[in-house]
Structure 1
Amino acid sequence: MKGIIFTEFMDLVEEKFGLEILDKVLQDAEDNGVYTSVGSYDHRDLVKLIVQLSQETGVSVEDLQKVFGQSVFQKLYARLPENASLLECKNCFQFIRLVEDYIHIEVRKLYAEANPPKFVFISESQSELVFDYHSARCMSHVCLGLVEGCAAHFNQSVSVEMVPQSEDQKHVRFQVALMETQ
């Protein structure tokens, strides 16, 4: 997993819970907290930090992952190259489709060892997008947060249903429906 995910996670923990909590989480997880945004790290280290933060704060692991996904969307979006086709997207469905067709392909080109999640699109209409999320990392709630962060970026309200397709949640179906805005 790319280090930017780790550095953004630690920034979020410090921002939302304070430096004291971040230090305690790192200490209790026996993690030195030294990550660079361009480095590659074992995703299990991030999972360990999330679990430790959950134990420290009483916030569920799923909720922490979701909030992280919502928060990190804007930061990752801001890092897109100026010529990225993603910047021309007009809505969240268009952007989500290009994550698989652009971001994940570029990540694989830049980092041969990278193993980003895979999105398999099932159906799409004006008001609903259904796709399957496949990831060995089992972090579907981060994906949920990213989808919600994406919708917020495009000023759209969405309802997201997650339906596990495997017991270990390596395969989850997302049904994203646009909500009417008043």
Structure 2
Amino acid sequence: MKGIIFTEFLEIVEDNFGLEVLDKVLELSNDQGIYTSVGSYDHKDLVKLIVNLSKVTEIPADKLQETFGEVVFVQLLRSLPPAASLNNSNNCFEFIRHVEEYIHVEVKKLYPDAVPPTFDFISESETEMVMDYRSARCMSHVCFGLIKGCSKHFNQEVAIEMSPLNDSGSEVRFKLNLVA
């Protein structure tokens, strides 16, 4: 997993819960908290940080993942080059489609060892999108939050339904409906 996710996570924890909570989470996780945005790290370390943040704050881990996804969307959007085709998206659905067609392709070019999640688009209309999320990291709640962040960015209210397709959580179907 790319380091930018780790650096943003640590910054969000410090900004929202304070340095004392961050230090406690790092201590419980046996983690030095030293990450670079361009480095690659084991996603299990992020899971451990999230689980321990949940223990310290008594907020469910799934909810923390969703909130993280929503907040980190803005930071990830800022990191896009100005000429990126994603910046020309006109709505939430168009942007999500471009994530698979642009960002994940570019990530693989820049980091051949990277294994980003995949989106398989099942159906799409102007008001509904159905897609399957697949990731060995099983972080669909982060994806849920990223979708929420995306819908806010485009000032569109989107109802999101999430249905697991297997027991491990590595495959999840998202049904997105624009709310009029």
Give matches, 1:80-95, under 5 Å: 80-95=80-95
Give matches, 1:42-121, under 5 Å: 42-121=42-121
Pair 1:170-2:163 in alignment: no
Query: What's the CA shift for 1:139?
Result: 0.2
Q: Which amino acid aligns with 2:17?
A: F
- Report what 1:27 is aligned to: 27
- Report what 1:39 is aligned to: 39
Q: What do the CA deviations read for 1:38-63 (whole angstroms, capped 9, x no partner)?
A: 00000000000000000000000100
Unpaired stretches in structure 2, ≥5 consecutive residues: none
Query: What's the CA shift for 1:66?
Result: 0.2
For 2:176 and 2:62, locate their aligned partners in 1 and report how far apart those are by CA, in whole Å: 18
Q: Which amino acid aligns with 2:163?
A: V
For 1:158 and 1:85, locate their aligned partners in 2 and report how far apart those are by CA, in whole Å: 22
Other structure's SS at 2:121 match: strand
Query: What's the CA shift for 1:121?
Result: 0.1
- TM-score normalised according to structure 2 size: 0.99
Give matches, 1:136-151, under 5 Å: 136-151=136-151
Other structure's SS at 2:138 match: coil
Q: Which amino acid aligns with 1:138?
A: C
**RMSD value over aligned CA atoms?**
0.4
For 1:169 and 1:28, locate their aligned partners in 2 and report how far apart those are by CA, in whole Å: 25
Q: Which amino acid aligns with 2:158?
A: V
Other structure's SS at 2:113 match: coil
For 1:75 and 1:57, locate their aligned partners in 2 and report how far apart those are by CA, in whole Å: 23
- Report what 2:128 is aligned to: 128
For 1:18 and 1:179, locate their aligned partners in 2 and report how far apart those are by CA, in whole Å: 35
Count of residues in Structure 1 that have an aligned counterpart in Structure 2: 180
Greater than 6 Å deviation, 4+ residue runs:
none
Unpaired stretches in structure 1, ≥5 consecutive residues: none
Q: What do the CA deviations read for 1:64-117 (whole angstroms, capped 9, x no partner)?
A: 000000000000001100110000001000000000000000000000110000
Q: Which amino acid aligns with 2:150?
A: C
Other structure's SS at 2:126 match: coil
- Percent identical among aligned pairs is 59
